[in-house]
Amino acid sequence: MRFFSLSTLSLISASLLFSAPANSTAAIDSLELVDVHRHVHNWVSPTKLETEMRELNIGWSGGVGAPYGPFSTQPYSDLLKQRYIATIGQVTMSDIYKYRGAKGLEDPEVSEHRQMLVEAERLFESGSIKGFGELILNNEHSNPNPSFRRKARIDSEAMVNIFRVADKWGAFVHIHAEDDPESVAQLKAIATNFPAVPIILAHCLFTADTLLIDTMLSEHSNFYCEMSARNESMFSGFFAKKKAAEYGWIVYDDQSLDAKWKELIERHKTRFMIGTDTFNRSVDVRKTIHQIRRGLLANLSPETAVLVASENAIRVMKLEK
Q: Is residue 60 part of a domain?
A: yes
Residue 193 to residues 138, 164, 196, Cα–Cα distance (Å): 20, 10, 9
Rounded distance, CA 315 to CA 221, Å?
14
Q: Is the pLDDT of residue 299 over 50?
A: yes
DSSP category for residue 87: E
| Residue 22 binned pLDDT confidence (cut-offs 50, 70, 90) | low
Q: Is residue 284 part of a domain?
A: yes
Q: Is the pLDDT of residue 17 over 80?
A: no
| Residue 36 binned pLDDT confidence (cut-offs 50, 70, 90) | very high
Other Cβ atoms within 10 Å of 315 Cβ, number? 12
Rounded distance, CA 19 to CA 243, Å?
23
Total number of domains constituting the chain? 1
Q: Is residue 4 part of a domain?
A: no
Rounded distance, CA 72 to CA 81, Å?
15
**Parent domain of 214:** 9-317
Q: Is residue 3 part of a domain?
A: no
| Residue 19 binned pLDDT confidence (cut-offs 50, 70, 90) | low
Average pLDDT over residues 294-310: 98
Average pLDDT over residues 20-30: 82
- The model carries a pTM of 0.92
Pick from 14-28, 66-80, 229-243: least confident: 14-28
Residue type for 78, please?
A: D
- DSSP letters, 92-130, are HHHHHHHHHHHHHHH-TT-HHHHHHHHHHHHHHHTT---
| Residue 2 binned pLDDT confidence (cut-offs 50, 70, 90) | very low
| Residue 8 binned pLDDT confidence (cut-offs 50, 70, 90) | very low
State the DSSP H helix or E strand holding residue 164, giving kind and residue range, or none if neither: helix 157-169
Pick from 60-64, 119-123, 211-215, 242-246: least confident: 242-246
Average pLDDT over residues 143-167: 94
Extract the runs of DSSP E, i.e. beta strands, from the chain: 18-19, 33-35, 58-62, 84-85, 87-89, 131-136, 172-176, 199-201, 223-226, 257-258, 272-273
Q: Is the pLDDT of residue 291 over 80?
A: yes
Q: What's the mean per-residue pLDDT of the chain?
A: 92
Rounded distance, CA 169 to CA 120, Å?
10
% of the chain surpassing 90 pLDDT: 83
Q: Is residue 158 part of a domain?
A: yes
Average pLDDT over residues 231-236: 91
Report the pLDDT value the prediction gives residue 11, as an integer from 0 to 100.
40
Model pLDDT for residues 50-105, shown as the tens digit of each residue: 999 999 999 999 999 999 888 999 999 999 999 999 999 999 999 999 999 999 99
Report the pLDDT value the prediction gives residue 228, as an integer from 0 to 100.
98
CATH of the domain at 80: 3.20.20.140
Report the pLDDT value the prediction gives residue 166, as an integer from 0 to 100.
98
Q: Is residue 274 part of a domain?
A: yes
The closest alpha carbon to 56, from 29, 77, 23, belongs to: 29
Q: Which residue has the higher pLDDT, 258 or 237?
A: 258
Report the pLDDT value the prediction gives residue 191, as an integer from 0 to 100.
98
Report the pLDDT value the prediction gives residue 241, as an integer from 0 to 100.
81
- 3 state SS of 134: strand
Q: Is the pLDDT of residue 234 over 50?
A: yes
Report the pLDDT value the prediction gives residue 20, as an integer from 0 to 100.
54
